[in-house]
Amino acid sequence: DSGVTQTPKHLITATGQRVTLRCSPRSGDLSVYWYQQSLDQGLQFLIQYYNGEERAKGNILERFSAQQFPDLHSELNLSSLELGDSALYFCASSVGRTGYNSPLHFGNGTRLTVT
């Protein structure tokens, strides 16, 4: 058990809808990262927050947004969903700001299916 909790485990929704994925980091970790894994793309970095502030952005679509709350949990919001957004969404956390010499610890993901 990595200590990172993601809810829900599975989500099925229709095109055009909006969903929110939730992540609770490991105790003591200040950074939260979001990754997307689809069959043909592998693991893609989306966005990182450190202590409530956005720190780095990757291949995140404009329809997607995230935030980190004062209690350090994070939410990833996906809107105007398309079939191609079906994927596994992973959250990870680390102690520091950069994660340079500290590993990321991943949750077990949310499987999103858009029909």
Instruction: From 46, 45, 3, 6, select the one nearest 23 (Cα to Cα).
Output: 6
One DSSP character per residue, 17-62 reads --EEEEEEPPTT--EEEEEEEETTTEEEEEEEEETTEEEEE-S--T
What residues numbered 80-99 form the site for other proteins, per CB under 8 A?
Answer: 88, 90, 92, 98-99
* 98: Cβ contacts below 8 Å, ≥ 6 apart: none
Minimum CB separation from other proteins for residue 4, in Å?
Answer: 7
DSSP 8-class letter at 72: S
42/70 with CB nearer other proteins: 42
Minimum CB separation from other proteins for residue 1, in Å?
Answer: 10
Cα separation of 83 and 101, whole Å?
37
* 57: Cβ contacts below 8 Å, ≥ 6 apart: 46, 47, 48
Minimum CB separation from other proteins for residue 57, in Å?
Answer: 10
79/108 with CB nearer other proteins: 108
Judged by CB under 8 A, which stretch of 10-18, 41-49, 68-76, 77-85 contacts other proteins?
A: 41-49
One of 45, 52, 60, 65 touching other proteins (CB under 8 A) = 45
Q: Which residue has the tokens 């709350």?
A: 69
| 51 sits near other proteins (criterion: CB under 8 A) | no
Question: Which spans of this chain sit near other proteins (rule: CB under 8 A)?
Answer: 2, 4, 33, 35, 42-43, 45, 48, 56, 58, 88, 90, 92, 98-101, 103-109, 111
